[in-house]
A = this chain, B = another copy of it.
Amino acid sequence: MTETAAPLHLEDLAVGQRFTSPSHTMEAEEIKAFAAAYDPQPFHLDETAADASFFRGLAASGWHTAAVTMRLLVEGGAPLANGIIGAGSEVTWPRATRPGDVLTAVTEIVEIKPSRSRPERGLVTLRTETLNQRGEVVQVMTSRVVVWQRGIRPE
Protein backbone atom coordinates (compact mmCIF):
# COMPACT_ATOMS: atom_id res chain seq x y z
CA MET A 1 0.00 0.00 0.00
CA THR A 2 1.48 3.32 -1.10
CA GLU A 3 0.80 6.26 1.18
CA THR A 4 1.58 9.81 0.22
CA ALA A 5 0.38 13.29 1.04
CA ALA A 6 2.16 15.12 -1.81
CA PRO A 7 -0.17 16.67 -4.39
CA LEU A 8 -0.11 14.41 -7.42
CA HIS A 9 -0.34 15.17 -11.13
CA LEU A 10 -1.41 12.84 -13.93
CA GLU A 11 2.08 11.47 -14.52
CA ASP A 12 2.44 10.59 -10.81
CA LEU A 13 -0.58 8.28 -10.80
CA ALA A 14 -0.62 4.51 -11.35
CA VAL A 15 -3.36 1.90 -11.22
CA GLY A 16 -3.28 0.20 -7.83
CA GLN A 17 -2.05 3.25 -5.88
CA ARG A 18 -3.88 3.58 -2.58
CA PHE A 19 -4.48 6.48 -0.24
CA THR A 20 -5.90 6.58 3.28
CA SER A 21 -7.74 9.65 4.56
CA PRO A 22 -7.89 11.15 8.02
CA SER A 23 -10.89 10.05 10.14
CA HIS A 24 -14.17 11.71 11.05
CA THR A 25 -16.54 10.85 13.90
CA MET A 26 -20.25 11.00 13.00
CA GLU A 27 -21.99 12.64 15.96
CA ALA A 28 -25.75 12.22 16.40
CA GLU A 29 -26.22 15.99 16.29
CA GLU A 30 -24.41 16.26 12.94
CA ILE A 31 -26.48 13.36 11.54
CA LYS A 32 -29.71 15.14 12.52
CA ALA A 33 -28.55 18.56 11.29
CA PHE A 34 -27.59 17.23 7.86
CA ALA A 35 -30.91 15.38 7.64
CA ALA A 36 -32.88 18.48 8.64
CA ALA A 37 -31.23 20.41 5.81
CA TYR A 38 -31.11 17.77 3.06
CA ASP A 39 -32.88 14.50 3.90
CA PRO A 40 -35.65 15.23 6.43
CA GLN A 41 -36.97 11.69 6.97
CA PRO A 42 -37.86 10.40 10.46
CA PHE A 43 -35.17 7.68 10.58
CA HIS A 44 -32.44 10.31 10.05
CA LEU A 45 -33.92 12.94 12.39
CA ASP A 46 -35.12 11.34 15.60
CA GLU A 47 -33.97 8.36 17.69
CA THR A 48 -37.45 7.19 18.69
CA ALA A 49 -38.87 7.32 15.18
CA ALA A 50 -35.70 5.63 13.91
CA ASP A 51 -36.03 2.77 16.44
CA ALA A 52 -39.44 1.92 14.96
CA SER A 53 -38.22 2.14 11.35
CA PHE A 54 -36.50 -0.11 8.82
CA PHE A 55 -33.18 1.17 10.18
CA ARG A 56 -33.83 0.10 13.82
CA GLY A 57 -32.08 3.15 15.19
CA LEU A 58 -30.77 6.52 14.02
CA ALA A 59 -28.91 6.25 10.71
CA ALA A 60 -27.11 8.93 8.72
CA SER A 61 -28.47 9.89 5.31
CA GLY A 62 -26.46 8.14 2.63
CA TRP A 63 -25.83 11.59 1.15
CA HIS A 64 -24.33 12.64 4.47
CA THR A 65 -21.94 9.68 4.36
CA ALA A 66 -21.09 10.67 0.76
CA ALA A 67 -20.50 14.31 1.74
CA VAL A 68 -18.28 13.35 4.69
CA THR A 69 -16.34 11.00 2.42
CA MET A 70 -15.79 13.88 -0.01
CA ARG A 71 -14.40 15.97 2.83
CA LEU A 72 -12.06 13.13 3.83
CA LEU A 73 -10.83 12.92 0.22
CA VAL A 74 -10.16 16.67 0.14
CA GLU A 75 -8.37 16.45 3.50
CA GLY A 76 -5.77 14.05 2.16
CA GLY A 77 -7.63 10.95 1.04
CA ALA A 78 -7.08 11.78 -2.64
CA PRO A 79 -4.06 14.15 -2.87
CA LEU A 80 -4.55 15.47 -6.41
CA ALA A 81 -2.69 18.66 -7.30
CA ASN A 82 -5.55 20.37 -9.11
CA GLY A 83 -8.26 19.34 -6.68
CA ILE A 84 -10.93 16.67 -6.91
CA ILE A 85 -13.08 17.55 -9.91
CA GLY A 86 -15.66 14.86 -10.51
CA ALA A 87 -17.68 14.14 -13.64
CA GLY A 88 -19.83 11.59 -11.85
CA SER A 89 -19.93 8.95 -9.16
CA GLU A 90 -21.59 5.67 -8.27
CA VAL A 91 -22.39 5.11 -4.61
CA THR A 92 -23.70 2.11 -2.69
CA TRP A 93 -24.41 1.91 1.02
CA PRO A 94 -24.01 -1.71 2.15
CA ARG A 95 -24.73 -0.82 5.79
CA ALA A 96 -25.99 2.16 7.78
CA THR A 97 -23.72 4.82 9.28
CA ARG A 98 -24.57 5.17 12.98
CA PRO A 99 -23.96 7.86 15.63
CA GLY A 100 -20.43 7.49 16.99
CA ASP A 101 -19.09 5.77 13.88
CA VAL A 102 -15.53 6.81 13.06
CA LEU A 103 -15.21 6.95 9.28
CA THR A 104 -12.06 6.64 7.18
CA ALA A 105 -11.89 6.65 3.37
CA VAL A 106 -9.52 4.26 1.61
CA THR A 107 -9.13 5.02 -2.09
CA GLU A 108 -7.56 3.00 -4.88
CA ILE A 109 -6.85 4.13 -8.43
CA VAL A 110 -8.59 1.60 -10.67
CA GLU A 111 -8.26 3.19 -14.12
CA ILE A 112 -6.35 5.98 -15.86
CA LYS A 113 -7.47 7.11 -19.30
CA PRO A 114 -5.39 9.86 -20.87
CA SER A 115 -7.53 12.08 -23.08
CA ARG A 116 -6.79 11.44 -26.76
CA SER A 117 -7.67 14.95 -27.89
CA ARG A 118 -6.10 16.68 -24.87
CA PRO A 119 -3.10 14.59 -23.75
CA GLU A 120 -2.32 17.02 -20.92
CA ARG A 121 -5.35 15.74 -19.03
CA GLY A 122 -6.77 12.36 -18.07
CA LEU A 123 -9.89 10.78 -16.64
CA VAL A 124 -9.03 8.80 -13.51
CA THR A 125 -11.39 6.35 -11.82
CA LEU A 126 -11.12 6.17 -8.04
CA ARG A 127 -12.74 3.47 -5.90
CA THR A 128 -13.26 4.67 -2.36
CA GLU A 129 -14.35 2.45 0.51
CA THR A 130 -15.61 4.30 3.54
CA LEU A 131 -14.95 2.15 6.62
CA ASN A 132 -16.24 2.45 10.16
CA GLN A 133 -14.16 1.86 13.31
CA ARG A 134 -14.71 -1.92 13.01
CA GLY A 135 -13.43 -1.96 9.43
CA GLU A 136 -16.93 -2.54 8.07
CA VAL A 137 -17.70 -0.92 4.72
CA VAL A 138 -20.51 1.64 5.02
CA GLN A 139 -20.11 3.04 1.50
CA VAL A 140 -18.41 2.20 -1.78
CA MET A 141 -17.97 5.19 -4.09
CA THR A 142 -16.57 4.91 -7.61
CA SER A 143 -15.73 8.35 -9.02
CA ARG A 144 -14.42 9.64 -12.31
CA VAL A 145 -12.20 12.69 -11.83
CA VAL A 146 -10.21 14.93 -14.16
CA VAL A 147 -6.46 15.14 -13.49
CA TRP A 148 -3.91 17.32 -15.29
CA GLN A 149 -0.20 16.93 -16.03
CA ARG A 150 2.34 18.95 -14.06
CA GLY A 151 2.66 22.55 -15.22
CA ILE A 152 -0.71 22.58 -16.98
CA ARG A 153 -3.29 25.13 -15.88
CA PRO A 154 -6.73 23.46 -15.81
CA GLU A 155 -9.20 24.90 -18.32
Contact = CB atoms under 8 A, between A and B. Distances in A.
A62 interface: yes
A61 B155 CA distance: 18
Measured as residues with beta carbon below 8 angstroms from the partner, the interface class of chain A is: 20 to 34
A89 B88 CA distance: 11
Interface string A15-27: 0000000000000
- Dominant SS at the A interface? mixed
Given A39-B71, A70-B63, A83-B43, A53 B89 contact: no
Contacts of A6: none
Contact of A39 (B63, B74, B82): B74
Given A61-B70, A63-B67, A66-B66, A84 B155 contact: no
Number of this chain's copies in the assembly equals 2
Contacts of A88: 90-93
Interface string A109-121: 0000000000000
Interface string A22-53: 00000000000010011111110000000001
Listed residue (A38, A74, A146) with the most chain B CB atoms within 10 angstroms of its CB: A38
Contacts of A39: 67, 70-71, 74
Interface of A: 34, 37-43, 53-54, 61-63, 66-68, 70-71, 74, 82-93, 146, 154-155
